[in-house]
Amino acid sequence: MRKVQITGWGMSVPEKVMTNAEIEKLVDTSDEWIKSRSGISERRICGDEESVATMAIEAGKRAIERARIDPAEIDLVILATLTDARLLPSTAAYVQEGVGARRAGAFDLDCACTGFIAGLGVAAQFIATGAMQKILVIGADAVSRILDWTDRGTCVLFGDGAGAVVVEAGDEGIPLSLYLRNDGSAANALTVPSPMGVRSELPANREFVITMDGPAIFRFAVEAMVDAAREVCDRSGIALDDFDLVIPHQANLRIIQAAARALKVPMDKVYTNVERYGNTSGGSIPLALAEAVDAGRIKKGDRILLVGFGAGMSWGALTLEWTAETASARLSEIPLAAATA
């Protein structure tokens, strides 16, 4: 089976920054309370002209430009999201058009916050079997659109953002290893009702917002990330100590720190940006990955561990070796494509 390489990467976040001080005006909370329980200081919020599609398109364009390929070479667009603007068609259809991938297939993938890991795993199988050559994988969510801004247990935690990668077949690097699991018995711990649901189950106020059992999620999250990290290390044959950087789902700094302690991974080997973006769900891991590359935290030859968890309850991890030359692919040197959204 062919090896899979990331050749391009990109990220996109909304312009609006919402600080903890602003949230203090909406609900009974404080900057100290939010930071002590989540590590979050601010998050990005989509404006009226921004959406999952606009963020995904921008991140996708950046990834394609860095990969130095024509968008028409893309065979498939996979969009990991849980916040589609429409029930029909998939948001990936708009993204495919927006990035200029006119010959590509496109579909959405909903695995909540584990979505990017699942999407990258799906892309790897298409490439490894020879079915496709170049795939654009994007994680993007506008979670602010499904928040109850009177619920301090949820509205302080989430934000909007997107990250994208181009994956291709290559000769360098270690084979990608993937681990995915789900426990549907705990699915109601984190959920959003749908207007398509059974009438008797629809909320009386017709607001389709997140409900979450915070303590249950915290306990599950730490155990899930530890399990996923250990299992994928066993599958890849690479010891946890041999990874240069761990990029976890950016849900909560306390969860990340607890998992790192359990795995005996020093925090200087764990990349975090939750303090600036909050939990961007499907956008979380790819956004952190792209930012880590741009920050110089990842270089060619580094071994990377991606690990996350999400609603469902889902969890998973993925290992890869970074093979792209990062120093020669700074976005400032590459103009964005002129494709329209």
Query: Does residue 279 have an active-site annotation?
Result: yes
| Residue 20 appears among annotated catalytic residues | no
In sequence order, which residues have a C-beta less than 8 Å from that of residue 285 and are 6 or more positions away?
116, 117, 139, 163, 247, 248, 249, 250, 306, 308
CATH match for 1-336 among 3.40.47.10, 3.40.50.300, 3.30.420.40, 3.90.1300.10? 3.40.47.10
Of residues 20, 252, 273, 279, which has the active-site annotation?
A: 279
Residue 77's beta-bridge partner residues? 106, 136
pLDDT score recorded for residue 192: 79
pLDDT for position 239: 95
DSSP string, 207-267: ----EE-HHHHHHHHHHHHHHHHHHHHHHHT--GGG-SEEEE--S-HHHHHHHHHHHT--G
In sign, the C-alpha dihedral spanning 228, 232, 235, 238 is: negative
Closest C-alpha among 282, 75, 307, 44 to residue 178: 307
CA distances from 202 to 147, 190, 192, 196 (A): 16, 16, 10, 9
Please, which residues bridge with residue 142 across strands? 160
What predicted TM-score, i.e. pTM, was given to this entire model?
0.91
Structure tokens at 313: 């309850």
The dihedrals phi and psi of 25, each to the nearest 5 degrees, come to -80, -15
Look at residues 254, 184, 188 and name the one whose alpha carbon lies nearest to residue 221: 254
What is the pLDDT at residue 74?
A: 98
Active site residue 113: yes
Tokens of 241: 């100590």
> For residue 4, what pLDDT is reported?
87
Helix (H, G, I), strand (E, B) or coil at 119: helix
Report the C-alpha gap between 95 and 106 in whole angstroms.
Answer: 8
What CA–CA distance (Å, rounded) separates 172 from 326?
Answer: 15
Residue 141: its H or E element: strand 134-142
Break the chain into its structural domains and give their ranges.
1-336
| Cα three-residue angle 244-313-175, rounded to 5 degrees | 35
Question: Annotated catalytic residue: which of 111, 249, 252, 273?
Answer: 249
Any idea how long the chain is?
A: 341
The CA distance from 297 to 303, in Å, is 11
Of the residues 113, 155, 233, 273, only one is catalytic, namely 113
Q: Would you write out the chain's pLDDT as a tens digit for each of its 341 residues?
A: 468 899 999 999 999 999 999 999 999 999 999 999 999 999 999 999 999 999 999 999 999 999 999 999 999 999 999 998 787 899 999 999 999 999 999 999 999 999 999 999 999 999 988 999 999 999 999 999 989 899 988 999 999 999 999 999 888 877 789 999 999 988 888 887 776 656 666 665 557 788 888 888 989 999 999 999 999 999 999 999 999 999 999 999 999 999 999 999 999 999 999 999 999 999 999 999 999 999 999 999 999 999 999 988 999 999 999 998 876 444 444 444 433 33
Query: Residue 46 burial by CB count (10 A; 0-12/13-18/19+): exposed, middle or buried?
Result: buried
Q: From the CB of residue 278, how many other CB atoms can be counted at a distance below 10 Å?
A: 31
The Cα–Cα gap between 77 and 35 comes to 36
Under 8 Å between Cβ of 211 and 192: yes
Q: How far is CA 147 from the centre of its chain?
A: 18
